[in-house]
Structure 1
Amino acid sequence: MTNTIGIAGTGRLAQALARLLAISGAPITAVAGRTPERAEGAARYAGDGVRSASFPELAGLANHIVIAVADSAIEQVASEIASAPLAPAAVVHTCGAKGADCLASLKARGAACGVMHPLQTVPAPDAGLTALRGSFWGVSGEEAAREWAAGIVHLIGGRVIEVPEGANALYHSAGVMASNLVVATLGAAQGVFCQATGVTPDLALRALAPLAMAAVSNALARGPHAALTGPVERGDAGTVAAHREALGAAPPAARELYRAASLQALELAIAKGLAPQAAAILKEILRRTDAE
């Protein structure tokens, strides 16, 4: 790790990554932000000796750069860095859904471009210091950028997953399903539980928590196929039909979520050995939309 490193961004991930790199002994020299105040705050958080800078100044302070900004801002920040007299040797961004092509302005300046995206949530910089260690990172782009990004990931205790060219959005959708959409499903279940029982949202969440935690824990320990239980797994068409009828009083998004998730559960159940006749009956019940 002989190359100097700059971080473009002052958000939760940018701050956590900058500090982790400093703690791990990486030669991080500067943090850049949209305003001097934000850049100075992020640089202080990163540690002693880390300077604050504007985006165009960053290339003069570091020859390898990580752009960790909002997805919609990546191309603009890349263009600002590319406008500097000195061009960095390598640049990666941390967006999971975009490939290295959004760094075209820097590639035109000769920088090797890539992506290093954490399969982890960072609710706050301090939380990220713990959460990012041991996490997997999706890495893609040009070979030199991938190799450098992999070195950073390993230095901070992470693990690398190679993402093929053009597969970034598909890869990221899997991460969204495993995190954001799990939260969305729990939110829908909370709402339906409140509607059915009249309890407060807090009590509903506490009542559902052991079930949700056990389901996720079993799926991670045994795999989704082995962990699947419930009426779809049993081929219980009567219960599934009753659920769909009862959910007619629920919000449309919750109804559609139940239908779509149950179809996915049916795929798991079929792979697990559900009888073809039982599967066909369930598929007919679940394929019907509200309009039908």
Structure 2
Amino acid sequence: MHETKRNMKKGDAGANIFFCCSIWSARARNAHGKDKGIYFYENRERFAGIFVKKTAEKHGTFARKGLSHGDGCDKVNGTGGIDTESKMLCGSDKLHRMFFLLTFFGTVHIAGRRVKPVHRESPTGTFTEVVRMKIGFIGAGKVGTSLGKLFVQHGMTVTGYFSKTPQHAEQAAAFTQSQCFSSLDDVMNASDTLFVTTPDGVIGRMWNDMAALPIKSKCICHCSGALPSSVFASAEELGARVCSVHPLLAVSDRFSSWEQLEGAFFTLEGSGSAEMAALLHACGAQTATIGAADKARYHLAACVVSNLAVGLSHWGMQLLEQCGFTAEQAQQALTPLILGNAQAVCAKGPRDALTGPAERGDLGTIRSHMACLNREDQALYALLTRKLCDLAQEKHPDRDDTALRTYLEGLS
């Protein structure tokens, strides 16, 4: 509550009324119990949001995302009004009626001054435009279905799905409460923003079919981590904008991964990056924009920490199996080490998370490791350990690791 008070602007009559009513409702808990005044206190922001939305719509302005008629709690009816049968809020207690009405007029006062779109900061700049797109999907796999659900959950308009596998399009459309299109023409005619969420090898072929249709003023996107937006060759000459929209996240399931996309990091590239950033920010995601020349290096970074890390984990499990562990025991034994290391890197950064013989400059232990490996694996171990020596040097700048580095260079 003290935080609320600090954030109020001086002279804002509506906000002051709202704040005073919040205090009043908090005090009502002690006097009347949880089943009366505190019910409104705990839901005051949701109730205020409903009235802000309705008043904002009256003035033709943008309402805060995520609010719709009937939001707030089960005591609000489908038209955004208050259920007069509610004993908690609409009973005979005049005290609660008074602070509710005061809060209502306070929020109307705030909304009457016109609600402004949210300003969102990102590496690509500040975006204040309201996102009003009609989004269609070509391809109804894990990424397309998950993105569509994310957009719908945040109030965006998803027109529907077209897929070479009609059953997949039907499932995605049902999941997002959108349409299942029977042709490429139909989904393109219904949409001003199109996501091609097919496998990478199909994107170029699909674009050849799309380019033969009217695409002027549309934004054409794909979600490949490796391909640049230039895969949509000549799109800009045809009057369209293009964008590569890649989530730095392993999307593993069609119907549950969308929850992880909220708050995920997306990397953008192409002429449509600004509008895609605005769309994603409105869905709670973060974005960064890169150039087309950096796309391969960007994808390499993702593969190193994702795919190659899986390979190293597999290598470690194989070494334990050589010691007599079963495959199941090896995986179970190393799981805490894998998870703990990943958590430490994310919390403290690679340098401060580093442990082990390279961090200590322990040449003797590293020699004993090399004795367990064949020549090919020795080269891999040496190369990776040299990378760790660079981190160790940052952590211990006064230590001389010349002997260790010389030994590793002779093996890699």
| TM-score (norm. length: structure 2) | 0.65
Aligned 8 A contact 2:159 2:187 in 1: no
Paired with 1:38 and 1:20, the residues of 2 have a C-alpha distance of: 18
Which shifted more, 51-60 or 65-74?
A: 51-60
Aligned 8 A contact 1:22 1:28 in 2: yes
Paired with 1:134 and 1:86, the residues of 2 have a C-alpha distance of: 31
The 3 A distance-change label for structure 1 pair 12 and 65 is same
Structure 2: segments with no counterpart, 5+ residues: 1-130
Match of 1:214 in 2: 340
Paired with 2:268 and 2:278, the residues of 1 have a C-alpha distance of: 11
Match of 1:246 in 2: 372
* Match among 329, 353, 367 for residue 203 of structure 1: 329
Paired with 2:292 and 2:160, the residues of 1 have a C-alpha distance of: 30
Deviation at 1:105, TM superposition (A): 4.3
Match of 2:155 in 1: 25
Is 1:170 paired with 2:297?
yes
Paired with 2:190 and 2:211, the residues of 1 have a C-alpha distance of: 13
% identity of equivalent residues: 27
The aligned length equals 282
Is 1:283 paired with 2:405?
yes
Match of 1:235 in 2: 361
Is 1:74 paired with 2:203?
yes
Aligned 8 A contact 1:95 1:117 in 2: yes
Is 1:125 paired with 2:254?
yes
Deviations 1:98-141 (A, max 9, x none): 21111114333211111110000111022312211111000111
Is 1:44 paired with 2:167?
no
Match of 1:264 in 2: 387
Deviations 1:195-245 (A, max 9, x none): 1x2111110011111112221111111111111111011111111111112
Deviation at 1:173, TM superposition (A): 1.2
Paired with 1:9 and 1:259, the residues of 2 have a C-alpha distance of: 44
Name the Cα RMSD after superposition.
1.9
Structure 1: segments with no counterpart, 5+ residues: none
Give the structure with the higher percent helix. Answer: 1
The 3 A distance-change label for structure 1 pair 40 and 5 is same
Which shifted more, 101-110 or 210-219?
A: 101-110
Please tell me whether Structure 1 or Structure 2 has the larger radius of gyration of its CA atoms.
Answer: 2
Could you tell me which amino acid in structure 1 is paired with residue 223 of structure 2?
A: T
Could you tell me which amino acid in structure 2 is paired with residue 14 of structure 1?
A: G
Paired with 2:283 and 2:257, the residues of 1 have a C-alpha distance of: 11
The 3 A distance-change label for structure 1 pair 231 and 155 is same
Paired with 2:289 and 2:315, the residues of 1 have a C-alpha distance of: 34
Higher relative contact order (CA 8 A, sep 6+): 1
